[in-house]
Structure 1
Amino acid sequence: MRVLTLELTAFGPYRNKQLIDFQKLGEEMIFLITGPTGAGKTTLFDAICYSLYGRASGTDRDQDTLRSHFATKDDLTKVTLTFSLHQKTYSVTRSPKQWKPKARGEGYTEEPATAVLYQLNAEKQWELVQSKIKEVNDTLQAMINLDYEQFRKMIMIPQGEFRKLISENSKEREEVLQKIFRTYIYHDMTEKMKNDAKLIKEQIEQLEWKLQQEKLNVSSEMMELEENKPFIEQIELKVNELKEQLNQIHTRKNQLIQQQQELEQDYYRNQQIAELFDQLDFKKQEKIQMQEQETEIQEVKGVLQLAYFADQLLPLDQQLQTREEEWQNQKKQLQHLQEQLTIKQNAFLKEEQHYHLLKNMEEDREKMKLDLLRQQENLHNVKGYFARKDQFLKLSGTVEKQRQEINGLEQSIEQLNKEKEQSYQISDQIYQLQQTIQEERYNQEKWQRQLAICHDILKETLQLDTLRRNYLQVKNNVNELNQQVEVQKEKCLEIEQAYHKNIAHILAGTIVEGEPCPVCGSTNHPKKRKSKSNELNQDMVDKERNSLHQLEERHKSVERKMYEIREQGEAKKAVISSFYQTLDPALQSKNSKDLNETVEKLTEQENKREKGILDLHNSLAKLQAAKKNVQDIQKQIERSKTEQTKLKTSFSQDLEQLQQLQIELTSQEKQLPERIDSVNSYQKQVDQLERDYQNKIKQWKDTKERYDKIKHELAEMKTITQQTEQFEQQLKESYEKQKNLFNQSLAEKNFLTVSAYKEALISKEKQSHLQDRINRYDENKKLIEQRINELMASLENKEKPNLEILKDQLDQFKEKQLSLSKEEQQIEWLLTHLKRSIKTVQSIEKELADLSEKYYHIGELANIAKGDNPQKLSFERFVLSTFLDEILLQANLRLDKMTDHRFQLIRSEEIAKRGAQSGLDLEVLDHYTGRKRSVKTLSGGEGFKAALSLALGMADIIQSHAGGVQLDTLFIDEGFGTLDEVSLEQAIQCLKDLQQDHRVIGVISHVGQLKEAIKAKLIVQSSNDGSDARFVLQ
């Protein structure tokens, strides 16, 4: 990878746009980056790192601080890097998150961070590759094949970074190498083996505890165990003994069951005879009840007979009602028609009078028609007159308007001449105001930046105070939880001990006096322990254990939260410190309280300044609005004069045409009818006359049509009325005939009155219900008598048995059987638990054997990997030591040249003391003395040579382990000032040797000898408006 161009805007100390073209170097592979301290030399490499990875190069640089303090609010921070890689050219552009003025209104809006990657195609056109930050980062890292840490260690030797590899201890050197070679996987592997071994060991301890608990349970609950005999063998002997007892109980139980079955059969036979005697008594009682219902049933049969006769008369009754309803409806219809006929006759007489009245007005309608035709002829003349009058009035207005415009143009020309003179005076005032505003705005931007930093400090301080309060609160919670965990542990221990003592209660509750004990076999139990209502069980023990586990998990969670808050607090303090460093020197010594007061004063000061600037802007806006361009004014004067000439010509022509129209109007006015104000008013008179005539014609036509219609309707209604009267008489006769027929049938069915017939009518449903009642009565009576006869025949020569004696005998057999069942259950319960204990112990012992074998292998590997070995060398350190050996091999090639074959860097083989890790300590072999000594004994110049050699060796090894990536650009930052002249020449020669690999090397230094030795220079100059950078080739 070779850097081609670097473009900066508002980045670090560079306010204005900077384009640094590395292609200007040509054949010069080494160039010097020189300039005053703080001018922005290292910032150039920060920009390269930021463009590729979105991060700065140094460990103490944050991307949020990369924006230039010289930049105005309208300047946006941006970096563009163009580079070549694998014969292809790429360009990446980044901008950080920043604030910019709103497009509309006041205030600021946040501009999000952006990143865009382009590639130059064969047609020399830029093609978009990626436009999202994550995709750009992933694509660039895949192309370069180096992560951020590797890149900055490989392409840049920053101030003091590689000196750490020489001067720091083994632990810190390990952290540096971890970041570069990404060996976290080996550390994670070691931790996983360590955690796995710990977990297996805990599982083994848990299983051993379970095994011991199982044995204690058997010993305390079920049987006494002998210590010298195997646990499984003792339990199996006890199981066989219990099985023999169980067989004896089964034999005794079967004998009792057989005797009980014989007694039950005898009991059931006598029970059936007793039930038959009960049935006979019940049926006799039912027969008596049936005899009492006989009279009521006879009454129901009479009601049912009358309902039958009434149903036969019902059709005649319905027909009579139908004939009556038809006659009454027709009678009502006839009455309605007679009323309508009367109304229609009255209406006809009224309409007939109106018809003859309008028929006699025919002569008046003809006169109105002639008058209408005469008025329509006069309307045509009136329209012509008023059209010409409108033309006259319009032209009069035009002439008057032209006269006013001519006078207005004369006044306008005079006013424009005055404005031209005023514009010269306003221009001078605007220039003076603009100078004042520019000075005030510069001061405002300077103190606004300081004010924003103060606000950030106060905001971060408040957040820090909150974190401190939270930390104390969480710390108190941790202490409280600590105490709760200890209390719960003691409670669990007490409950487990009490549980083991109370296990025997369960077995004691099942022992029956006179029967053998399932554990010892004794039939005498003089000191049997009574069970308690509050006995402990396994669920209660597990519940307390779960409570302890939950408390421990909660304690770990709150403790992690405490550490997180403490880390956040440390980060906040670092941020506040960085903000203080960017403040004006006069403000850096103030604490948060004083700073708050200072912010209020600065805010008040800036508000006044802003108001003053706003007043100046308002004054400027008023002046700019008042100012007019002199040339524009002159052009307006000329245009006004030309327009004035055109208006005068048009005015003369229109005035002549107006006089001619006046003459014509006077002649036409004499021919008009009298009292004519306008065409519309006369038109309305003619229209009204025409509407009156049409209304009279329509009135006569409508009246004639109504008269003819009502005359026809009256004749039709008389005919319909006559027909309706005849039909009504026919219906009346039909009704009388039907009435006589119904009365005759009523007498035949023995109904004296119509009301008697109505009362006899009942619904079909009720009739069916009464018939069902009669049928049920007859059927039940027959069944009862039949059942009584059957029972008396069956119980002949038999007496009712006594069942109480038989039932007492059955209860005695059941009590004996229940006693045997309890004894059987006790033995089965004990047998089941002993068998389960055998399976549990066998399973635990098998699992213990498997885990022990597994722990033998994993535990040994975990100890070796974490450094518990004779060399005190962990697995990760072993890998890092291999990388370090490769780096030292390459570094010594260059250190040998720079020290005249005196020094050689080697890795120490000594074992660290007091249990510390070994393998990464460095020593230097001094060939002048032939002895090894610590690298910390090297002088400043010797240390720089060693660090430079180590950095160059590091770059070579990183390239080889990153897939052969070739970075053709290298930067070296400071350190040459510690070298003498000979050492400096050796260092320069070593750098020149790197040119053989076609690398471009940039050296950041103030050393004068380097300025003379290196022809190409990138000069960085600083000013009160920001820094500038440019190449100078000698």
Structure 2
Amino acid sequence: MRLHRLDITAFGPFGGTQSVDFDELSTAGLFLLHGPTGAGKTSVLDAVCYALYGAVPGARQSGQGLTLRSDHAAPATRTEITLELTVAGRRLEVTRQPPWARPKKRGTGTTTEKAQSWLREYEASAATWKDLSRSHQEIGEEITQLLGMSREQFCQVVLLPQGDFARFLRADAEARGKLLGRLFDTHRFAEVEKRLAERRRATEAEVREGDAALLADAHRMQQAAGDIVEVSPPDLAPGEPGLADAVLTWAAVARSTARERLTLAHTARTAAESAQAATDRVLDDVREVARLQRRFTEARERAARLAERADAHREAQTRMERARKAETVAPALDLRDTAESEHRSAATDEARARLALPDSYAGAGAPGLAAAARKAAEELGGLESARRAERRLGELTRERASLDRQEREDEDVRQDAESWLATWEATRAELQARIESAQEATTRAEQLAERRDPAQARLRAARQRDQFARDTDAAHARALAAREHATDARVHWLDLKEQRLQGIAAELAAGLVDGEPCAVCGSSAHPAPARKDAGHVDREAEERALAAYQSADEQATEDERRLGVVREALAAASAEAGDTPTAQLAEQAEELELRYAEARAAGSGLHAARERFAQAGLEHERRVAAQQEIALRSAARVSHRDRNDRERASLEEELAQARGAADSVAARAAQLERQAALLTEAAEAVRVAEDTAQRLKDADARLSDAAFRAGFDTPQAAAAALLDDTAHRDLQRRLDAWQLEDSAVRAVLAEADTAAAAERPAADLAAAERAAESAARRLRETASAQDEAARRCTELDRLSTRAGTSVRRLAPLREEFDRVARLAGLAAGTSAENERKMRLESYVLAARLEQVAAAATVRLQRMSSGRYTLVHSDDRAGRGRSGLGLHVVDAWTGRERDTATLSGGETFFASLALALGLADVVTDEAGGVRLDTLFIDEGFGSLDDQTLDEVLDVLDSLRERDRSVGIVSHVADLRRRVHAQLEVVKGRTGSVVRQRGVQD
């Protein structure tokens, strides 16, 4: 990387635009960047870093109150940095503009502009610049990729901060590790350590989990085995070695013991089964003898009871025989009862029918009554035509009443319509006038609404105008006071600063120490140091004045911004409200509001008036249509009424002949219908009574003949012998039960086995059952013991199999855990095999540090005239870890000592050599990116003349690798030794740069 040109505008202490031509400075190989303290030497380096990475170095970026924009810049001048450089064979131009607050183009105050960036590349073939990107992120990624290093690495490698490397020389291993880790990006090795530790914990947790499951299976096997195993399971914790073998050994002992118990239980069960079979056979024999003995005894008792009921059985048989004979007479008895019941019912009906007839028919027979009924029916048939005429006359009467009612209703409607239509013209005119009035009011309200809203807006703007006018006066007074205060503070600060610059010699002299070099001239002799006078201004007073000025200036800027905001608001309100007084605008707005409300209230009835007019028109049409309909209906009713009157007269004459003495044809027809029905009913009742009397006589004759043939003296005797269904079934059931019981008793008493068992002694069933129960209980106990032993064996086999599976599954996991734990211990530096307790990241950094020490020694020996050599040390420091030790070997004494023992000047050139060596190693680490421009910041004031010459020779030798080195220092002697210079001069209006090349 080689820098060509740097343009700085409104950045840091530079109020205007300053340009630096690095090509001219680099021709000498070594150039000096100098200037008084606070002039902005470091700001040049900050500008380079900001152009590349969009941020200043971290140490300066963290300063309190640091801003990129220059306080000396004009308000309209934007902060901008442009850097032209060559990197990786490409010539690029980077432009950065940080965010800034610019004055508004209209009105007062400021507005914030966003940050902007540009990246261009020079095309030599076309001799033009080509735009590459305007994205902050893309430009940052492109620069980082081309340089091959981050901003922190760039600040350590290109902008060599001597103070940091001096601290690096004196730091402990932990601090060195942090710096080297940032530069060489070794966090991936730390991630490896972390990953190994996490993997070790994960595999350890899995192993412990598997061991816990294995122990759980061991406890389950112990519960399944019970007390058959005298040895307890292994008392080991998860993760302890030998746990799997101990569990499997104990499981094998438990399984063998369980199988022995199962064999013993099987033998005991076989013996119990044989004993139970023998007792069951004996019990079956005893039960059979007891059953036969009970059967014989019960049969003897049943035979005795049958003998006691023999007489009753013979009587029941006799009664059953008479009932069976009477059953042959039962049909004749049923027929006679039916005939008698029918005859009584027919006689009752005949008497009731004769009572309903006139006395003239009291002795008439069935034929006479039937003839009279036919005559009445014939007369009734002749009245059918008169009945239809009577119904038609009723209909005509109802029609005439309906016509009269319709006529009255139509007359009422006609009169109401005529009365309403008489006022129609006046009503229509009134409604039309209302509509026109409401329409005019609505139009007037719309016109007033168009005037009302602008009036209200002007009134609001006028009120805001008045308020903003008052606020503007107050803000203007505050801004004037704040600006005057800021001006006074600035004048006071500049006066104090001028006084301090005039007395700076006394302030520097106060820090001189006999024997130590002067920070300005470098001499260790101080013959006549300046003295402070009574009115001397120190640094603290100047800083307080500067802080007071900055605070006052910020407050004045804020007050001016607020004044601009208020003025903009006042201008906007004045433009809208005009010059009319607010009171007059309020009166105009109020008058418009009142007139608008009146017009809107008057026009609100327009819709209702239109609806009423439309309803009135519909009502007028309905009334006219009603009059026309009434006229048509009246004409139709006159014709209908005439036809109705003619038909009624004809029907009344016909009905007068048909009614006779009755009130109506219907009454006469009802009399004839009732008379015909009574005569017909009476004739039928007389006929039925005669028939039933004859059937009763025939039934009596057949009953007497059937009773005689069945052997009964009278029909009454046969009827008494009959049994109903219930009595017959009950008697037959008793006879059948007696017969069945007699047969069963005879069969039991005839059995040979039963008789033989009865002759034997009484069977002892209770003793046999006790013996069988005892044998069965023994069998259940032995079977339960065998089942328990079998379940124990099965469960132990299952758990042993699962434990064996778990052991086989855990075997590779245990091997992985041992391997990972060993690697994690080695990487973390906690393993006994890691003798120096060196972490993996420290090991990698130690290799880098060894390279850095070797590269630094080449220059350190030349700077120290071959006296000092930097060496890397792996020794442990106290209880800490080893790997990042750094010692210096003194050739004069031949001893190795800590770098913290070097003096001030020795520390400077040692740290410079270390910085240059680190730059070479980081450059190689970054992929061999060539760094053609380096900057070294301060520290040369601590060197004597001889050492300074040696250091400059070393820096000058860098030109052999076509490098240019910029020295940042205010040591006066360097201005004489280094001809190419870039001077930063500070002033009240900001700093400027002056460049002098080799030719100058």
The TM-score normalised by the length of structure 1 is 0.48
Greater radius of gyration (CA): 2
The TM-score normalised by the length of structure 2 is 0.50
